[in-house]
A and B are shown apart, each in its own frame.
Chain A
Amino acid sequence: MASGDIKGFYRQKKKHQKGGISKSVSASASKKKKPSKSGGGATLGATDPQTPALFAHGAFDLTDDYGEDEERLRQFDMDMRYGPCIGLTRLQRWERASSMGLHPPADLRNLLTRASGPKSPDLECLWEGRV
């Protein structure tokens, strides 16, 4: 999918845009009030002439462009056993769960500590900057 191109073009990070207008270089990003990952179907205000829908064989790609690691971390955020996720970074929440004896999966911690590069999962929880 050409959405890989668009993702590199926008480079949006949630934590810089807590509900405000972002300072990102891309013009269409500055029109949006809420940060959102690019490449999701027919995004409003997108200046890209070719929407990804044309490349997804006619079906809208409704999943945001994040990897399997991010999906696992989102499941970790939503898991009730480890307590509320808002207000803590994912790593802090993992450390808290670990010290409370809840045995969170150890590989999640590796994902969070090794985070680097454009494909890395977000260090903040799913709702950071959105609520």
Chain B
Amino acid sequence: MKVDVEMGGGSPKLLERKQAVYRNLDERYEIHGETYKGQQYSHIYFTRLHYMRNLLYSLVPKWKPNLPVNTVLGLEEEKECIIVGTIYKHMKLKPSILDEYSKERSKVPLAKPHNFVHPDDHLILEDESGRVKLAGSLLDPSAFVTGIVVAVHGKETSEGKFFVLDMLEAGLPPQIDQPPSSTEDKYVVFVSGLSIGSSTFNPLQFQLLVDHITGHLGDENEQTFASQIVHFIIAGNSVQILQGLLNGQTIAPRDQSTLTEPIKELDILLNQLAAAMPVDIMPGPSDPANFSLPQQPLNRCLFPGASAYNTFISCTNPHQFELDDIQFLGTSGQNIDDLFKYSEAKNKLEFMERTLRWRHLVPTAPNTLGCYPFTDKDPFLVESCPHVYFVGNQDKYETTLLQGSDNQSVRLICIPKFCETGVAVMLNLRNLECHSLSFSTGLNV
């Protein structure tokens, strides 16, 4: 790890940047030479159901010890039992590719709603043997999405539906104990949605951020503060390339530079950052990486300047790592944005909490969010609870400390889009407290 040396104010005092032990755990999200052989998504659902079902079967005896556990095909009428399966939510407003071919084209609204929830949505539980509609008022379909695995207690009605009396989610996974809190403050800075290349990007604003955390701004106090920053995470959407250029037409040579300008600019800024401290960059929906999750690391060739530093790390999305034995897990926002489209909650933090309780990072993949059709694993299953769970490219900065039933404690962070808000997030590794860093270049204070 490079140690950066900062010069203090006027006096020749050397401030050393603190360091933290970093361990990258992205291997589960990397596509290691997998070749696509034409397989479909049934395999990923099978592995997900198998893993979650075994988990739920182990939790059911503590929940309702005296009830039999059945498969969907083994349901008997009026007999109370427990079934475990994958939820499918039938949504009236969910856009379907077949709508393009429907005879009544006028029924399809041209403007897409942001949220596809409708009061008529209903839930269906499915396992390998069959599927059954879930009835009853206990489960509110607007809180669920297709793809989660739950256990339900109830009985089959005469109509062939399953009347739900109670439901069990897997709950927060077990957490590795947090290391004993150290005495010194070490900070991690999160930023996302830089959108270099878009009209909302303000170069001065980001330059301010870079200068502040590399210690080129402020007096000795500020610089001491900056020297305690040990890691910098960019959670997606660092570039935005004009949509008009990406419609498949050949671009004239004079316009080709508009394609590469944003990335070159990003490289210059990353160069400054990487020279000062370890930087992790994650791809997001608008970055030049693959579309389907897990997004693979941005190619090092895109950053000829920054990739010369060993502090520059290009990561997958989702991204999992460890800093001083504190577990971090985060995404660039696609998982939460998709939940927002297909279900309702009071805020984004509640969606994040739900993904942890369902033990699945991206429950809507592959249904409404693209993902690679793995045949032997589902890498988005959350097996151990992180200490810090962050999501990028959100509308505003939000954070909370989530407590689990088994002494788990997770810091949930929503990182706002920097191009719109000018806000970065700082996390103190000592006590997992969070605060925002706001940058403004407006002349009217």
Contact = CB atoms under 8 A, between A and B. Distances in A.
B37 A80 contact: no
A96 B37 contact: no
B375 interface: yes
B47 interface: yes
Contacts of B42: 83-84, 86-87
A113 interface: no
Interface in B19-73: 37-40, 42-43, 46-47, 50
B128 interface: yes
A88 interface: yes
User: Chain B interface secondary structure, helix, strand, loop or mixed?
Assistant: loop
A86 B50 contact: no
B73 to A, nearest CB: 10
Contacts of A84: 40, 42-43, 46
Contacts of A95: 376
Contacts of A92: 375-376
B407 interface: no
Q: B38, B40, B129, B376 — which one has the most chain A CB atoms within 10 A of its CB? A: B376
A99 interface: yes
A96 B376 CA distance: 6
Nearest to B40: A87
Contacts of A44: none
B132 to A, nearest CB: 17
Contacts, number: 36
A128 B359 CA distance: 34
Interface in A96-128: 96, 99-100
Contacts of A86: 39-40, 42
Nearest to B42: A84
Contacts of B129: 80
A80 B71 CA distance: 13
B131 to A, nearest CB: 14
Closest 8 CB pairs of A and B: A87-B39, A83-B46, A84-B42, A96-B376, A80-B128, A88-B375, A100-B50, A84-B43
Given A87-B42, A88-B37, 8 more contacts: A83-B42, A84-B42, A84-B46, A86-B42, A87-B39, A87-B40, A87-B373, A87-B375
Interface of B: 37-40, 42-43, 46-47, 50, 128-129, 373, 375-376
19 contacts: A80-B128, A83-B47, A84-B40, A84-B42, A84-B43, A86-B39, A86-B40, A87-B37, A87-B38, A87-B39, A87-B42, A87-B373, A87-B375, A88-B37, A88-B375, A92-B376, A95-B376, A96-B47, A99-B376
